[in-house]
Amino acid sequence: MTLRLHHLENSRSHRLIWLMEELGFAYEVVRYARDPKTMLAPPALRRVHPLGKAPLLQDGDLTLAETGAIVEYLVERAGGRLGAPAERAAALRYRHFLHYAEGSLMPVLLVMLVLRRVPLLGRAAVRRFRPMAAVHFDYVEAMLADRPWFAGADFTAADVMMSFPLEAAVRRAGLLHGRPHIADWLARIHARPAYQAALERGGAYAYA
């Protein structure tokens, strides 16, 4: 049965199109545009899931929300491809970054993005908050200094999960200047054929 992804423009759901391309799945994309004033998801998504947010994945009668949960489902459906490596240390890194992307890194970035939209006081708050954000980006830079991919020697779904916050950090917050290992990693994921195919299937994506 063909997978169906409910995809919101310029959002986390781009990662799932990319992952399905990497895994070679047959899938359908249902695209949604953001409200031009609020930049929020349209009400139509609530007809698919009560939360009314993307991404949402449908596989037959099953509807899944939350990017990380969908990534784990797709990896499992693919028989473990792009999942945790066999070596234990690499497997632990895989699980860490699979959850770190949304659990720790994305909240820091979201605060930065929101503060940047607040006049005067927001800019002052950004200056005070930036050192806390730098701790995370310095950590990520150090992790990539010792290995090509987040889990280790091989590309995995953890790299897919880490893409959105790091892309947004570059395009929206200018936070990655002077961090060459992150820049190199971004260049390599953007060069992957499956990533390019995902851009064609998903439409415009401002962070690529």
Q: Which domain holds residue 74?
A: 3-82+194-202
Please tell me the total count of domains within the chain.
Answer: 2
Closest-CA residue to 17 (of 71, 82, 63): 71
φ, ψ (nearest 5 deg) of residue 155: -65, 135
Asked whether residue 124 is assigned to any structural domain, the reply reads: yes
- pLDDT bin (cut points 50, 70, 90) of residue 75 is very high
More confident residue, 173 or 181: 181
Q: Above 80 in pLDDT, residue 118? A: no
Do 119 and 58 have their domain in common?
A: no
Question: pLDDT for 162-173, tens place per residue?
Answer: 999 999 888 766
Do 97 and 148 have their domain in common?
A: yes
Do 39 and 57 have their domain in common?
A: yes
Do 123 and 53 have their domain in common?
A: no
Q: Above 90 in pLDDT, residue 180? A: yes
pLDDT, mean of residues 199-207:
87
- pLDDT bin (cut points 50, 70, 90) of residue 201 is very high
Asked whether residue 208 is assigned to any structural domain, the reply reads: no
Q: Are 55 and 74 in contact (CB under 8 A)?
A: no
Q: What is the CATH number of the domain that holds 16?
A: 3.40.30.10
Report the alpha-carbon distance of residue 12 to residue 22 in Å, rounded: 16
Asked whether residue 116 is assigned to any structural domain, the reply reads: yes
Q: Is pTM beyond 0.85 here?
A: yes
Q: What is the CATH number of the domain that holds 147?
A: 1.20.1050.10
Residue 202's pLDDT is: 93
